[in-house]
Structure 1
């Protein structure tokens, strides 16, 4: 039984922050007090500025709502370390979040206990990130946050969506899951007007607006959101068709190309069919180069033209290297993996 008032208040606040909604009886059972005491403690939290709302239903309940300011959060040790590391490593992955992430990290590290600050510092010192230039679109963090909240709260959301052809239309959906794949974010949602499941790229979503209309989430086809989105990505219409038969095992080609599993189909133990189709000619060429095995190609003319141009540039570069006496630089002496 939690008899110390400050400790009980902190425990109550921590519980409210871990779940969308609690009944008064559940909170009383967790804290070992009466529901009357819970009501008084909730009033104390409200006086301190925490926006605790009462909910309707069979027995009523409480939830921590969004307020006009960010209240203090209660984090356990593992949560604090996870947030600190995530803020450091994720900075730069979302548009406009680099400086904000570092400011938040500075605030968090300032109040971390010494034992946790030491652990976080050790992780930072022992790890490094290769700063490859990011390709492709990046997601607006406000869009990502709004859709994540809508998924959590089972709230219908409206937004404008730009298709791969450049046309824009208003959509109204029941959001279920956010899925990240190959540097892109996708929203898996049920389109209410089309009465069907749809996958939306978040970089093409603008102005997501909650409608305050709740829905009861249905079962995702196949029960696996990530697998469903992967299948949709693999079978989505693309600008350029490129199908190859590769003289290498399917598992080997998957490892070399990083292709989605549904895009590599084994024909026998030593041969597989690979769908390299896509919207980017250069990416198709990169995938074919990564195959690193003999293959036969069935592709649209613009794909073969691009490959011919690429091959011709390579041939000219090699010819120039031969005429000027160039070639690959000599490898340094191999002193083993440890120098």
Structure 2
């Protein structure tokens, strides 16, 4: 490093990740010695930062709470992450567009010139594709309220359209551009997955709860395999349904956003979904590779017949190598 100040800033950047780093690891990343690391740690302490020593086999240093507000210390990869995230927030959250623009302008102003050039290289415009099956993003205030209850581990009382429920909110999950709350339902004594934007009459109770062991795979896997997660059929120009010879948990994992899965007996399920055309909707159903019955409406059945004709003709006319 060219100077003590440059090393100290780099050391601060490494420690702001929240993990404990050994003196050997810090020395390797800084390209210096353990003794120099100790001196740079003392420099940070003199500047008002709390750098705690961690003893034991996995010991080292970590940044403690309190102290002075750290300056903006970012490397090239962190610059890319911050800039792209701030420019694409509107795709998953409403009511935060202006705040994101102002935050990006503030971050850019305090960047060194070299990193500012890197940031400007990642100016992007996020445009949803029809294949993404987008949904309206939830309001930032809603996410903030529920997220605070998750962080504080406080019971929520909500209405999801089926009545009032008392929930222990554990995690927020974004999947298929939709926000879900993973919670333990006190009334039903089981885990529940709820669409965040479907919740009404949201009330924070201030009642604390203790953590529970999550189901296998964690919150993300639970959202993916839960058919009854509060989804409604998206308002596409063409919508239909069919019964598949597949378990609801499997179909729920791979169904596009805006689809609805309903479990049936015998390891079958009913899948309802939509698309921009009947032939496009028929193509979506064929991706599951399952026998189908009770296909509705007639337009979807006709689209399956046309698709079958196209596929049969394609098989009968092999192209040149």
- TM-score interval (norm. to shorter): 0.5 to 0.7
Return the offset for 1:182.
Answer: 3.5
**Closer/same/farther in 2, CA of residues 89 and 46 from structure 1, 3 Å limit:** same
Return the offset for 1:84.
Answer: 1.0
Which residue of structure 2 lines up, in the alignment, with residue 291 of structure 1? Answer: 281
Return the offset for 1:208.
Answer: 9.2
Tell me, in whole angstroms, the C-alpha distance in 2 between the residues paired with 1:147 and 1:65.
25
**Closer/same/farther in 2, CA of residues 33 and 262 from structure 1, 3 Å limit:** farther
Task: Give the alignment partner of residue 175 of structure 2, picking from 177, 181, 184.
Answer: 181
**What TM-score, normalized to structure 2?**
0.56
Task: Give the alignment partner of residue 225 of structure 2, picking from 217, 224, 231.
Answer: 231
Tell me, in whole angstroms, the C-alpha distance in 2 between the residues paired with 1:212 and 1:7.
45
**Closer/same/farther in 2, CA of residues 195 and 115 from structure 1, 3 Å limit:** same
Tell me, in whole angstroms, the C-alpha distance in 2 between the residues paired with 1:64 and 1:212.
29
Which ranges of structure 2 fall in alignment gaps of 5 or more residues? Answer: 28-32, 234-239, 245-250, 286-291, 299-321
Q: Deviations over 1:124-161 (max 9, x none)?
A: 27x5636999636434353476478x4xxxxx711414
Equivalent residues in 2 for 1:57-76 (5 A)? 63-64=62-63, 67=66, 70-76=69-75
Say whether the 8 Å CA contact 2:231–2:260 is kept in structure 1: no
Tell me, in whole angstroms, the C-alpha distance in 1 between the residues paired with 2:25 and 2:118.
35
Which residue of structure 1 lines up, in the alignment, with residue 139 of structure 2? Answer: 138
Which residue of structure 2 lines up, in the alignment, with residue 258 of structure 1? Answer: 256
Return the offset for 1:82.
Answer: 2.3
Which residue of structure 2 lines up, in the alignment, with residue 124 of structure 1? Answer: 123
**Closer/same/farther in 2, CA of residues 171 and 6 from structure 1, 3 Å limit:** same
2:87 counterpart of 1:88? yes
SS of corresponding position for 1:180: strand
**Closer/same/farther in 2, CA of residues 238 and 143 from structure 1, 3 Å limit:** closer
Which residue of structure 2 lines up, in the alignment, with residue 17 of structure 1? Answer: 16
Which residue of structure 2 lines up, in the alignment, with residue 6 of structure 1? Answer: 5
What RMSD over aligned residues (CA atoms) do the two structures have, in Å? Answer: 5.3
Say whether the 8 Å CA contact 2:76–2:118 is kept in structure 1: no
Return the offset for 1:258.
Answer: 2.6
SS of corresponding position for 2:242: strand
Return the offset for 1:117.
Answer: 3.6
**Closer/same/farther in 2, CA of residues 28 and 208 from structure 1, 3 Å limit:** farther
SS of corresponding position for 1:235: coil
SS of corresponding position for 2:74: coil
Tell me, in whole angstroms, the C-alpha distance in 1 between the residues paired with 2:243 and 2:25.
63
Tell me, in whole angstroms, the C-alpha distance in 2 between the residues paired with 1:3 and 1:288.
62
Return the offset for 1:106.
Answer: 0.7
Say whether the 8 Å CA contact 2:231–2:258 is kept in structure 1: no
**Closer/same/farther in 2, CA of residues 109 and 51 from structure 1, 3 Å limit:** same
Return the offset for 1:113.
Answer: 4.5
**Closer/same/farther in 2, CA of residues 138 and 79 from structure 1, 3 Å limit:** same
SS of corresponding position for 2:103: helix
Return the offset for 1:77.
Answer: 0.5
Tell me, in whole angstroms, the C-alpha distance in 1 between the residues paired with 2:260 and 2:128.
29
Return the offset for 1:98.
Answer: 1.3
Q: Deviations over 1:10-37 (max 9, x none)?
A: 233122112x3416xx1455233259x6
**Closer/same/farther in 2, CA of residues 197 and 169 from structure 1, 3 Å limit:** closer
**What TM-score, normalized to structure 1?**
0.54
**Closer/same/farther in 2, CA of residues 107 and 134 from structure 1, 3 Å limit:** same
Tell me, in whole angstroms, the C-alpha distance in 2 between the residues paired with 1:193 and 1:53.
44
Q: Deviations over 1:261-307 (max 9, x none)?
A: 99499xxxxxx96422xxxxxxx6769966248997589xxxx9xx9
